[in-house]
Amino acid sequence: MDANQESMSNPFGMDEQCRNCPELCDTRETVVHGYGDVGAEFIVLGDSPAAGADRSGIPFTDERERELLDILAAVDMVADPDATEPELDNTFLTYVTRCRHPDRPATDDEVVNCEPYLNSEIRMINPEILLPVGQRPLEALAFEYTTLSEDELDIDERHATTIRGRGFEILPMIPPADQTDEQRTDFLDHFTNLLGQDYRQTKGRRGR
């Protein structure tokens, strides 16, 4: 599986007609695979596409989700968070599940069906930091890539903290639309501090 960085959209050429989840094939407009820089140090992981992302095929481009792009813009990772196709710097956006059902969240079986896509993106990009946005993305990463138990995976408690993973760090975030002003400030302070320390020592590493 080779990356095509001529396009930020689905650069690994994953199946855009996936039919692993029959109930979702009739409700989705698009299979929303990852989007961004294939050499990124950061992967941002959401739950599943909202309506705007389902239409555009680009993660986090729903009106409510774009607050995440505003946060990334505050640390110079997105040039224009309002752009139809945001230009990302050193960042890759993706989801736990790739298809939208308008009336319900993804089932456990649908999450399992999408795991190979997510695991492939993480393996191919080999990031320094994984940034799960919400409870299910945190669980999807922590169960696979840390030794934490379910009792240790509360997004409210883990927000704006760093979890040591296997080969990278996990930086959980409460979904921006659900954050208080204080939680937003806490995350930006923690993220900025991380960028100023560990990240700046490794920025520019592309030999993977």
Check: CB of residue 127 under 8 Å from CB of residue 42: yes
Of 57, 2, 10, residue with least CA distance to 35: 10
Check whether 13 has a pLDDT greater than 90.
yes
Q: What is the pLDDT of residues 131-142, one digit of tens each?
A: 999 999 999 888
Question: Taking residues 13-34, what's their average pLDDT?
Answer: 96
Three-state secondary structure string covering the chain: CCCCCCCCECCCCCCCCCCCCHHHHCCCCCCCCCEECCCCCEEEEECCCCHHHHHHCCCCCCCCCHHHHHHHHHCCCECCCCCCCCCECCEEEEECCCCCCCCCCCCHHHHHHHHHHHHHHHHHHCCCEEEEECHHHHHHHHHHHCCCCHHHCCHHHHCCCCEECCCCEECCECCHHHCCHHHHHHHHHHHHHHHHHHHHHHCCCCCC
Which pLDDT value is given to residue 207? 37
Token couple for 147? 């030794």
Query: Does residue 122 have a pLDDT over 70?
Result: yes
Q: What is the pLDDT of residue 200?
A: 47
The domain ranges of the chain are: 32-201
Q: Lowest-pLDDT range, 92-106, 110-124, 187-201? A: 187-201
Mean pLDDT estimate for the chain:
90
Hey, what CATH topology would domain 32-201 get?
A: Uracil-DNA Glycosylase, subunit E (3.40.470)
